[in-house]
């Protein structure tokens, strides 16, 4: 029996950096996203999957097929597959006939851990099935049978809208002009990382940390250094604005508060 690991197809698709369309799962009358490709663990399907995949057209589906699955009495079954708009039932795939019962293929080749999701997307990601949804269950299976599950609720705590971003850019322009007036010799650009810090009982941030990196892979930011007075003004005004207006997205994912790395670009007029 082939051990189907959670890394199904990771080596095949990881270089694509494109989020893949999930498989579809029906369970107790509810529809879920199955964030894995169980058919890749079935050795008998290797040739057919290679044939289907050679005709891919969309980068969101390098495999060029989509499996439709069901869980019945804690057992995973393949009902049918859609390939290039055609529906192919598991009972009509010759190599799957030994697995079939009641018209569906019992996925006894699956011994693995995978995620099933539902609800809205909380945090989109371009990794291999790493997008976070509102409702997620991590499912452990052995020989196609559920042995354990862990449920997680995710949500976006702060929404960064276009209106917020535009207002923030206007604020940065005003700050750049103020810095030129107060510090005539200040350089023409300041880059500052912005991080939410400390949270109240509702998971809202109560402070903001401002960091002045010297350089990154893509750009030199503050290599020549900034005076303490300039840093203090930027820290005070930037932290106050971001905390008051909640400029950047903030998430609660997998039981933890999470945020991206945000950079404030302050262009200072000559």
DSSP code for 203: S
Task: Say whether pTM exceeds 0.85.
Answer: no
pLDDT band for 97, please (50, 70, 90 cuts). Answer: very high
Judge if 181 and 202 occupy the same domain: yes
Among the candidates 153, 169, 192, a domain finishes at 153
Q: Tell me how far apart the 2 most distant CA atoms of the chain are, in Å.
A: 80
Judge if 212 and 146 occupy the same domain: no
Tokens of 19: 């989020």
Judge if 167 and 236 occupy the same domain: yes
Judge if 149 and 161 occupy the same domain: no
pLDDT at 218 over 60: no
Residues 238-251 pLDDT 10s: 999 999 999 999 99
Domain count, the chain: 2
Residue 109 CB burial class (10 angstroms; 0-12, 13-18, ≥19): buried
pLDDT at 195 over 70: yes
Please report which helix (H) or strand (E) contains residue 101, including its range.
strand 100-101
pLDDT at 1 over 70: no
pLDDT at 31 over 60: yes
pLDDT at 61 over 90: no
Judge if 112 and 208 occupy the same domain: no
- pLDDT score of 13: 38
Please report whether residue 176 resides in a domain. yes
- pLDDT score of 261: 82
Pairing of the two strands 30-34 and 112-123: antiparallel
Judge if 53 and 146 occupy the same domain: yes
Judge if 161 and 201 occupy the same domain: yes
Distance CA 182, CA 266 (A): 15
Judge if 23 and 143 occupy the same domain: yes
Contact 105, 90 (CB under 8 A): yes
- pLDDT score of 54: 78
Judge if 195 and 237 occupy the same domain: yes
pLDDT band for 62, please (50, 70, 90 cuts). Answer: confident
pLDDT at 72 over 70: yes
Judge if 128 and 175 occupy the same domain: no
Please report whether residue 1 resides in a domain. no
| Residue 226, number of CB atoms within 10 A of its CB | 17
Judge if 111 and 223 occupy the same domain: no
pLDDT at 187 over 90: no
Please report whether residue 5 resides in a domain. no
Among the candidates 153, 178, 203, a domain finishes at 153
Please report whether residue 191 resides in a domain. yes
Among the candidates 90, 122, 153, a domain finishes at 153
**Domain assignment of residue 84, given as a range:** 10-153
With a pLDDT cut of 70, the percent of the chain lying above it is 85
Share the mean pLDDT of the chain. 87
Distance CA 27, CA 117 (A): 12
Judge if 126 and 201 occupy the same domain: no
DSSP 38-65: GGGG-GGGHHHHHHHHTT---TT-TT--
């Amino acid at each position: 029996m082939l051990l189907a690991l959670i890394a199904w197809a990771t080596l095949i698709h990881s270089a694509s950096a494109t989020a893949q369309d999930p498989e579809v799962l029906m369970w107790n009358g509810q529809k879920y996203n199955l964030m894995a490709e169980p058919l890749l663990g079935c050795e008998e399907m290797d040739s057919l999957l290679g044939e289907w995949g050679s005709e891919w057209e969309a980068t969101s589906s390098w495999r060029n097929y989509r499996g439709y699955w069901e869980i019945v009495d804690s057992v995973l079954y393949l009902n049918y597959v859609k390939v290039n708009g055609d529906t192919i039932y598991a009972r009509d795939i010759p190599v799957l006939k030994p697995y079939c019962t009641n018209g569906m293929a019992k996925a006894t080749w699956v011994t693995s851990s995978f995620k099933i999701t539902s609800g809205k997307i909380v945090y989109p990601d371009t990794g291999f099935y790493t997008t976070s949804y509102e409702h997620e269950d991590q499912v452990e299976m052995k020989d196609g049978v559920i042995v354990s599950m862990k449920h997680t609720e995710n949500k976006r705590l702060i929404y960064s809208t276009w209106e917020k971003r535009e207002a923030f850019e206007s604020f940065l322009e005003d700050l750049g002009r103020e810095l030129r007036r107060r510090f005539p010799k200040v350089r023409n650009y300041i880059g500052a990382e912005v991080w939410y810090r400390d949270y109240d009982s509702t998971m809202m941030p109560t402070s903001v940390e401002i960091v002045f990196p010297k350089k990154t892979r893509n750009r030199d930011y503050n290599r020549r250094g900034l005076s303490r007075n300039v840093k203090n003004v930027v820290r005070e005004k930037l932290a106050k604005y971001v905390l008051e207006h909640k400029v950047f997205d903030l998430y609660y994912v997998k039981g933890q508060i999470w945020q991206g790395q945000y950079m404030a670009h302050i262009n200072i007029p000559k």
